[in-house]
A and B are shown apart, each in its own frame.
Chain A
């Protein structure tokens, strides 16, 4: 690896570990992030509050549930950034299985494989069989549609879906929509949903009442994070215009291998960590390629996302957990947890 690239990575790591937060401030953030956060939508203004273990007063209300988002497993990747991505996926599954509440299902937001090889999909399937949640919903990443226009992906993970693999389903009063923004990409562009899918989405949402909580999930972010690296979706604004009338919209994405959050009106956007390898923060490296971190730090920059739905507030709480360390060990949770807390504070 060229020295220049390594310098950028060292700098990124330094930024990750030294966010200008002193130890006292950091522990305060930790205490907050460790208990999770609930998005509450009140009069169109999103507010956040910490929620205690067992979801406090909301605990036990009928209809409350949680699900887990995992992303970017890249099974088959074997480069220095993580020579054993199957092991880290397994660790993510162990973490899901160790949760005090069993999630109703898992959403995988794409890049299941590195090269769309049957053996890679087989390995993923085998690992996911061991998850406590048996229902798993997928959307493809660009790595899952490399060889055959996504035919194999559709056969394995997209039975009964529309087009290149989009679909929707309802769960305990929440409407979920899985979108595909990695197919038929145009030269010079970013992610793309395409006309046919947008028409379907408009139609799919038409019949829902505005009070229905909506969860959109897709591989590439549905908000523009960094166009130079293609971290956005060219026609996402059209899609988001269809959800404007809804009171609670949560958008879950992967692709960028790091946590980013944004709230815009009643829509909260969130990207998940990868289970395979981290990528640099936008613009902090010559490219978006895999970021090699010291082996003992890898588990801190990989992780899973736990999403809790509380019926009483019609709100979804998004909590990110790195694979390594427990919430009682502040130092091991540094990067990702701070990223969550920071996003909420601002």
Chain B
């Protein structure tokens, strides 16, 4: 089923891709960022999560990428999600299936905090 989605994504219009992915609830969103509204990127750069607060629809997959020369983590303050240690250019993705506000932080540099609002 997943394979099929990706195959469809390669040919369908961008709006359709987003809908298909949303309906399928696939955690492996591979379409490019413009094509899929449900795939949201957060860059970790200069010890800051950017954007610090993001608002996404239910079912969206958020991908954190560490752009720093120092390892970071992205860990839910309430234990909802927890990345492994992300070295330079490493990524972590999580799909939010329920509405709510999800504060998170870097457990290595706890001054670094962010928030995902799922609507």
Residues on A facing B (Cβ under 8 Å): 5, 77, 79-81, 114-116, 142-143, 146-147, 185-190, 227-230, 286-290
Contact residue among A146, A190, A227 (Cβ-Cβ distance under 8 Å from B108)? A146
Check if A5 sits within 8 Å of B46, measured CB to CB. yes
Q: Identify the closest chain B residue to A184 (Cβ).
A: B107
B33 interface residue, CB < 8 Å from A?
no
Contact check, B46 vs A289: say whether CB atoms are below 8 A apart.
yes
Interface residues of B (CB under 8 A from A): 46-48, 68-71, 77, 84-85, 87-88, 103-105, 107-111, 113
Chain B residues lying within 8 Å of A79, measured Cβ to Cβ, are: 69, 88
B69 engages A229 (CB within 8 Å): no
B16 to chain A, nearest CB (A): 37
Is A289 touching B110 in the complex (CB atoms < 8 A)? no
In the assembled complex, the Cα of A79 lies from the Cα of B68 at a distance in Å of 10
Bound-state Cα–Cα, A229 to B109, Å? 8
For the complex, what is the distance from the CA of A287 to the CA of B84, rounded to whole Å? 22
Known contacts A115-B87, A146-B85; A185/B107 CB under 8 A: yes
With CB as the reference atom, state the residue of chain A lying closest to B109.
A230
Q: In the bound complex, do residue B46 and residue A188 qualify as a contact, i.e. CB atoms below 8 Å apart? A: no
Residue of B nearest to A147 (CB): B85
With a cutoff of 8 Å between Cβ atoms, the chain B residues found around residue A227 in the complex are 111
CB contact under 8 A between A287 and B47, given known A146-B85, A187-B77, A188-B113: yes
Number of A-B contacts defined by CB within 8 Å: 58
Q: Indicate if the CB atoms of B70 and A289 lie closer than 8 Å.
A: yes
Are B87's CB and A185's CB within 8 A?
A: no
Given contacts A187-B105, A286-B46, A287-B47, contact A230 B85 (CB under 8 A): no
Give the complex CA separation of A155 and B108 in angstroms: 21
Nearest neighbor of B88 in chain A, beta-carbon distance: A79
Knowing A115-B85, A147-B85, A289-B70 are in contact, say whether A186-B110 is a contact too (CB < 8 A): yes
- Contact in complex: A81, B69 (CB < 8 Å): yes
Closest to A227 in B: B111
Report whether A288 and B47 are in contact in the complex, using a CB–CB cutoff of 8 Å.
Answer: yes
- CB closest chain-A residue, reference B48: A287
Q: Assess A188 versus B47: contact at CB under 8 Å? Given A114-B71, A143-B71, A290-B69.
A: no
Partner of A230, one of B71, B103, B107, B110: B110
Interface centre among A5, A142, A227 (most CB of B within 10 A): A142
- Tell me if A189 and B110 are in contact (CB < 8 A): yes
Q: How far is the CA of A201 from the CA of B14 in the complex (A)?
A: 61
Contacts A115-B87, A146-B85, A290-B70 supplied; 19 other A-B pairs, CB < 8 Å: A77-B69, A79-B88, A114-B71, A115-B71, A115-B85, A142-B109, A143-B108, A185-B107, A185-B110, A188-B110, A189-B110, A230-B109, A230-B110, A230-B111, A287-B47, A288-B47, A289-B46, A289-B68, A290-B69
In whole angstroms, how far apart are the Cα atoms of A297 and B84 in the complex? Answer: 35
Q: How far is the CA of A146 from the CA of B86 in the complex (A)?
A: 10
Structural contact, B111 and A228, CB atoms closer than 8 A: yes
Contacts of A80 in B (CB 8 A): 69
- How many Å lie between the Cα of A185 and that of B84 in the bound state? 16
Nearest residue, chain A, Cβ from B78: A187
Q: Within the assembled complex, what's the spacing in Å between the Cα atoms of A6 and B48? A: 18
Cα A189 to Cα B105 in complex, Å, equals 10
A115 to B86, CA, bound (A): 9
A289/B111 in contact, CB under 8 A: no
| A188 vs B107: C-alpha distance when bound (angstroms) | 10
- Candidate in B47, B69, B71, B84 with the most chain A CB atoms within 10 angstroms: B69
Partner of B105, one of A142, A188, A286, A288: A188
The distance from the CB of A76 to the nearest CB of chain B, in whole angstroms, is 9
For the complex of A and B, list the 3 residue pairs with the smallest distance between their C-beta atoms, beginning with the closest.
Answer: A187-B105, A287-B46, A287-B47
A146 to B88, CA, bound (A): 15
Tell which of B68, B105, B108 has the most Cβ of chain A within 10 Å. B108
